[in-house]
C-alpha cells in the first residue's frame, strides 16, 4: 500500500471535548457489498480516523446471514453472529450501521437500535423513502443521530450539502440522474445505436443489473431516491408513492437518434420542484439539450443538479453505486457521529421528515413535450394538429414535417404548459382522422424555459 | 415574490438545546457585492432560517467604506459605521462575517473578532491561502468557529464535503477549474476560434474581468483557491507560494484547435495530489480529453473534480463567483454557526491548518506533455527527437508528422514521466540542429494514465 499522507489533527481537540471517550464501538448489520466495504474502510483507515475523530472507531460486532461464507474482508476481531438483534441489543455499542437493505427486518432493527440510544447510519433507500419519517421522529425523540448520506447517489455527497451547505438558500428544483443501470443503458443506446434490449443485455453481462431489472428499468429505484432528495431539499416529507413514475421501457433507438438530430440526449431524470407551497416529484425519460451538464453524465455515473434561489445551478457527480463508493459515504456518516460523540454535539436532523409535503397534482406540472405523430399525407393535417394544441392553450415551439405517403410524420416540441393539458391534447390527437398514431412523446427538460 | 415552501423544523429541536438563545447577532464587515447579497439573503429568508436554526439570525451592524453610497440593499435596521473595529468590538455580536477581502485589514479584524470570542465566516481566499493557519489556530485556541465555504468555488459546496462527507475516505487528488474568467476565455477560444486577446476583450465587455486581469490570467486567483482546497483535502497546510503556477497567456488559438483535433479541450487546471506523504500543487493550462467531466464545464462555471481511494471520482459544479452564489455559501456557514450556538456544538475545524504539508519538488511531479516542434524537413529528425526523449527515459505515446519544408512539425504526446525529465528533454531539444523551435508544450491531464 501507498504510504499515507499524514493527516494532522488539531492538537487542541481535546480542549473542546465534552465527553471523555475511550473509543467508538460500531455494530454492523449485514456484510455484503456495502457492509463489507464499510468494514474494510473503517479498518484500513483506523489510525487516520482515530486521529481525526479524537478516539478510535472499531467495528466490534457484525451480523451476517451466513457465517461460513467466504468473504473478501476478514471478520476476525469482531463478534460474528447471524442474529442482528444481538448486535442491536449489545449495550456496549454506540453506533449501528444498517447494511441489510429492504424494509423489514431493517426497520425493526433500526427502531430497536434507536430505542436503546444508539446512533444509526443507513443506506437503505427503500426504507427511508417509505418510512423515513417514522425513523427520524424516533431518532429525534431518543436524541440520537440517524444519517443516510449513502442512500442517494452512492458516494456522492448530496444529502449533507443540501442539509447544511444550502441551509442559507432556498432550493427550488432538484433534477438527477440517480440510477446507474438505466444511465448505462441510455448511454449505450446513444453512443452505439443499440436497442434497449441490446443495451440491457450488455448491462447484464457487466453485472450492472439486479435479479429483477424492474426496480431499475421501471424507475422504482430512482423514485425512492427522489423521494429522499425532495424531502431533504424542500424540508417536507415526500414518499415513493408521491412520485409520478415512468421507466425507460418505451424508449426506442429511434427516439435517441431523433433526440441527437435536435441536439438532445435522452436521460432517465428524477425531477422534484417546490413552488407555491407544494412539491412535485416525477421520474421519467426526458430529452436534455447536449449543453446541459447532466447530458454529459455517462455510463453508470450519477449526478444531481440543484437549482437554488441564490446559488443558481449546482451539480454533484460521482459513482452512484458500488461497494467502495457507497461505503465511503457510510464511513463519512460514521465519522460524523463519532465526532459528535466525542464533542457532545448532535447532527442537524431537521431533514424535512417532520411534516408531510403538500403534493402538487400531476396534471398541474409545467412541462414541455417532444411529440412524434404518424399522420396522413393530405392537406389540412398540420392545421388540424395545430388547432388541437391551440384549443388546449399549448404553444408549439417547433414543428417539422418529415417523409411522405405512409411515412409522413410531424415532429413537434411544445412550450411549457401543464401536464394535464398535454395529456388532453394527446387524447384528442389520437381521435383525429388525420393522425394515424402518436409514435412517441417525451418530456423535454433543462432548457432555459423549463 | 413566489410564496415560500413552508420549511418545517423538527418540533422537538428545543429538547436538544444546550443553551437558551434569544437570537443570533451578526456583524457584517463590508457591504459590497458579496456582503450586500449576504445581508439580503439573511433578511429575505429570516423566518425560514429562524425556524431551521431555532433562533432568529439578525445582521445588527454593518461596516462600510462609504455610508452615503447608494446600495441595492437597504441598511435600515442595522447600525452602519465606517469603522469595522466598532463592529468587531461590539460585545453583543456573536458572529462576524468578513466580506472586505484582501489580506489587511481583514486579518487583523478577524483575529480581533476571534480574540473576543466571536465566530467568523469569511470568503477571503487571499488571506486563507497565505495566513489561514494563523487564523485557524487562533480560532481553535479561542474555541470559536471559523468557516470559509465561499472562499473556493463561490456557491459550490466543496469545503464542507471535503471536510465532512469524505472524512471516512482518503482523497488522493483534487483537480479543479476554479477561475471563472479564464474558463470563460478558454470556452470562447474553443467555441468561436477567437484569440486570447479577443476572448479577453469579450470577458471585459461582460464585466467578468478585474481591474488588474493578472490575478485571473496569470493563475494567482486559482493558486490561492488550490492552496485552500489542498489544505482541506489532505489535512496539511499548503500556501499560495507552494503552488507551481502558469497562467493562460501563452495559450494560442492554434493550441486550442490542435487540442480539438486530438479530441481534447484546453482548460486552466488547478491540480493537487497527495502521494508518499508529500503534497504537490500546480496551476497551468492543460489538455483534457473531451469525455472528461471537467472538459464540458463551460463559461464562468467552476468545477472541482475529486478522486478518493474509495469514493472514486466525484465532481462538484456550479457558479464560482457572483454576489448571490457566493453569499449563499456565506449564509450556509452563518446558519451552521447559528445552529452550533443554539445546540452548544462546534464545527470540526481540523481542516488541515495544523501542520505544514511536505511539498513535493516540482521536478518530481508525474506529468504527460503535448509537444509541438518546428523541425527541419530532412532525414534523421524523428530519430534525433525520439532519441532525446529516450535518453531522458520518457516514452512517447503518439507522434504525428505534419507539413513539409519550412512548415514541417512534429506533434508528440508523452507518457507519464517526471516534470524535471520533461524539462531537461525540452532543453536538449532546443539545442538540436534538427529542431528549429519548440512551438508549444502543454500538460495533458485527465487521461486514465495521468
Summarised one tens digit per residue, pLDDT across range A85-133 is 999 999 999 999 999 999 999 999 999 999 999 999 999 999 999 999 9
Q: Are strands B79-81 and A366-375 parallel, antiparallel or unpaired?
A: unpaired
Which of these is catalytic: A118, A225, A267, A436? A225
pLDDT at A256: 96
pLDDT at A190: 97
Under the banding of pLDDT at 50, 70 and 90, the label for residue A5 is very low
Interface list for B 136-165 with A (CB within 8 A): 140-141, 143, 149, 155-157, 160-161, 164-165
pLDDT at A56: 95
pLDDT (average), residues A55-73: 91
pLDDT at B320: 86
pLDDT at A340: 86
| CB B448 within 8 Å of CB B420 | no
Q: Are strands B24-29 and B95-98 parallel, antiparallel or unpaired?
A: parallel
Q: Is the ipTM of this complex over 0.90?
A: no
With a CB cutoff of 8 Å and minimum separation 6, the contacts of A287 are A259, A262, A264, A265, A266, A370, A442, A443, A444, A445
Closest-CA distance, A345 to chain B, in angstroms, reads: 5
pLDDT at A19: 53
Instruction: Extract the residue ranges of chain B whose pLDDT is less than 70.
Output: 1-20, 348-351, 449-450
Closest-CA distance, A139 to chain B, in angstroms, reads: 11
The C-alpha torsion from A361 through A362 and A364 to A368, rounded to 10°, is 160
Cα angle, residue B439 at apex, residues B433 and B442 outer, rounded to 5°: 125
Does the CB of A169 have a partner CB in chain B at under 8 Å?
yes
Does the CB of A391 have a partner CB in chain B at under 8 Å?
no
Angle between helices B106-115 and B125-142 (to 10 degrees): 10
| CB B61 within 8 Å of CB B84 | no
Under the banding of pLDDT at 50, 70 and 90, the label for residue A184 is very high
Query: Which residue of A133, A143, A167 to mutate against B (max B Cβ within 10 Å)?
Result: A167
| CB A306 within 8 Å of CB A315 | yes
Does the CB of A15 have a partner CB in chain B at under 8 Å?
yes
User: Is the link from the previous residue into B105 a cis peptide, with omega within 30 of 0?
Assistant: yes
Closest-CA distance, B272 to chain A, in angstroms, reads: 13
Name all domains of chain A by residue range, CATH numbers in brackets.
Answer: 13-155+323-343 (3.40.50.720), 159-319 (3.30.360.10), 362-444 (3.30.70.260)
Under the banding of pLDDT at 50, 70 and 90, the label for residue A10 is very low
| CB A228 within 8 Å of CB A153 | no
Check A235 against B5: CB less than 8 A apart: yes
pLDDT at A349: 58
pLDDT at B18: 45
With a CB cutoff of 8 Å and minimum separation 6, the contacts of B159 are B147, B148, B149, B151, B152, B228, B232, B351
Q: Chain B contacts of A274, Cβ < 8 Å?
A: 5
Please give the residue of chain A at the shortest CA–CA distance from B143. Answer: A16
Given A6, A315, A335, which is nearest B277 (Cβ)? A6
pLDDT at B348: 61
Check B5 against A274: CB less than 8 A apart: yes
pLDDT (average), residues A402-416: 91
Angle between helices B220-234 and B125-142 (to 10 degrees): 30
Residue with cell 408521491: A242
Q: Residue A356 catalytic?
A: no
Check A169 against B345: CB less than 8 A apart: no
Closest-CA distance, B289 to chain A, in angstroms, reads: 13
pTM here is 0.90
Please give the residue of chain A at the shortest CA–CA distance from B310. Answer: A324
Q: Chain B contacts of A320, Cβ < 8 Å?
A: none
At B290, which helix (H) or strand (E)? none
pLDDT at A18: 45
pLDDT at B20: 62
User: Quick one: what percent of chain A has pLDDT higher than 90?
Assistant: 77
| CB A151 within 8 Å of CB A143 | no
pLDDT at A2: 39
Check A345 against B344: CB less than 8 A apart: yes
Is it the case that residue A347 has pLDDT exceeding 90? no
pLDDT at B165: 84
Q: Chain B contacts of A317, Cβ < 8 Å?
A: 293, 313-317
Please give the backbone phi and psi of residue A396, each rounded to the nearest 5 degrees, phi first.
-100, 125
| CB A301 within 8 Å of CB A318 | yes
Residue with cell 457487466: A206
Is it the case that residue A311 has pLDDT exceeding 90? yes
Q: How many CB atoms lie within 10 A of CB B364?
A: 14
Does the CB of A330 have a partner CB in chain B at under 8 Å?
yes
Which of these is catalytic: B225, B267, B356, B436? B225
Q: Are strands A171-177 and A301-308 parallel, antiparallel or unpaired?
A: antiparallel
At A224, which helix (H) or strand (E)? helix A220-234
Q: Chain A contacts of B48, Cβ < 8 Å?
A: 170
Distance separating alpha carbons of residues B315 and A177, to the nearest angstrom:
14
Query: Which residue of B149, B155, B168, B231 to mutate against A (max A Cβ within 10 Å)?
Result: B168
Classify residue B83 as left (phi > 0), alpha (psi -120 to 50) or beta.
Answer: beta
pLDDT at A52: 79
Interface list for B 46-85 with A (CB within 8 A): 48-49, 52
The C-alpha torsion from B115 through B118 and B124 to B128, rounded to 10°, is 50
Amino acid at each position: 500500500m501507498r504510504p499515507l499522507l499524514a493527516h494532522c489533527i488539531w492538537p487542541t481537540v481535546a480542549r473542546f471535548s465534552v465527553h471523555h471517550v475511550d473509543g467508538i464501538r460500531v455494530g454492523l448489520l449485514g456484510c455484503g457489498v456495502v457492509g463489507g466495504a464499510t468494514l474494510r474502510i473503517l479498518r484500513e483507515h483506523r489510525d487516520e480516523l482515530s486521529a481525526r475523530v479524537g478516539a478510535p472507531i472499531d467495528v466490534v460486532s457484525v451480523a451476517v446471514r451466513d457465517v461460513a461464507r467466504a468473504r473478501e474482508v476478514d471478520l476476525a476481531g469482531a463478534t460474528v453472529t447471524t442474529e442482528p438483534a444481538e448486535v442491536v441489543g449489545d449495550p456496549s455499542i454506540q453506533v449501528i450501521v444498517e447494511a441489510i437493505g429492504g424494509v423489514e427486518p431493517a426497520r425493526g432493527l433500526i427502531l430497536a437500535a434507536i430505542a436503546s440510544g444508539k446512533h444509526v447510519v443507513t443506506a437503505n433507500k427503500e426504507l427511508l423513502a417509505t418510512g423515513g419519517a417514522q425513523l427520524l421522529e424516533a431518532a429525534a425523540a431518543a436524541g440520537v443521530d440517524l444519517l443516510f448520506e449513502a442512500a442517494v447517489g452512492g458516494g456522492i455527497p448530496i444529502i449533507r450539502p443540501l442539509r447544511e451547505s444550502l441551509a442559507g438558500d432556498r432550493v427550488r428544483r432538484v433534477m438527477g440522474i440517480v440510477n446507474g443501470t438505466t444511465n448505462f443503458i441510455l448511454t449505450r443506446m446513444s453512443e452505439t445505436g443499440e436497442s434497449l434490449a441490446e443495451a440491457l443485455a450488455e448491462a447484464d453481462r457487466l453485472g450492472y443489473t439486479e435479479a429483477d431489472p424492474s426496480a431499475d428499468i421501471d424507475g422504482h429505484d430512482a423514485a425512492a431516491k427522489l423521494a429522499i432528495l425532495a424531502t431533504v431539499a424542500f424540508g417536507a416529507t415526500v414518499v415513493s408513492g408521491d412520485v409520478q413514475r415512468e421507466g425507460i421501457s418505451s424508449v426506442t433507438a429511434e427516439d435517441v437518434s431523433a433526440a441527437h438530430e435536435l441536439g438532445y440526449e435522452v436521460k432517465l431524470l428524477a425531477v422534484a420542484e417546490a413552488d407555491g407551497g407544494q412539491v412535485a416529484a416525477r421520474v421519467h425519460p426526458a430529452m436534455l439539450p447536449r449543453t446541459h451538464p447532466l447530458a454529459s453524465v455517462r455510463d453508470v455515473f450519477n449526478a444531481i443538479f440543484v437549482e437554488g434561489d441564490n446559488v443558481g445551478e449546482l451539480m454533484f457527480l460521482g459513482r452512484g453505486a458500488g461497494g467502495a463508493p457507497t461505503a465511503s459515504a457510510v464511513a463519512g456518516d460514521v465519522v460524523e457521529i463519532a465526532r459528535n460523540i466525542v464533542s457532545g454535539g448532535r447532527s442537524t436532523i431537521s431533514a424535512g421528515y417532520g411534516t408531510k409535503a403538500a403534493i402538487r397534482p400531476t396534471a398541474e406540472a409545467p412541462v414541455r413535450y417532444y411529440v412524434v405523430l404518424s399522420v396522413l399525407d393530405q392537406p389540412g393535417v398540420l392545421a388540424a394538429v395545430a388547432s388541437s394544441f391551440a384549443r388546449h392553450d399549448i404553444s408549439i415551439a417547433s414543428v417539422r414535417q418529415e417523409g411522405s405517403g405512409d411515412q409522413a410524420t410531424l415532429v413537434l416540441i411544445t412550450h411549457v404548459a401543464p401536464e394535464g393539458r398535454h395529456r388532453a391534447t394527446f387524447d384528442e390527437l389520437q381521435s383525429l382522422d388525420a393522425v394515424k398514431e402518436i409514435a412517441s412523446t417525451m418530456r423535454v427538460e433543462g432548457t432555459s424555459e423549463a
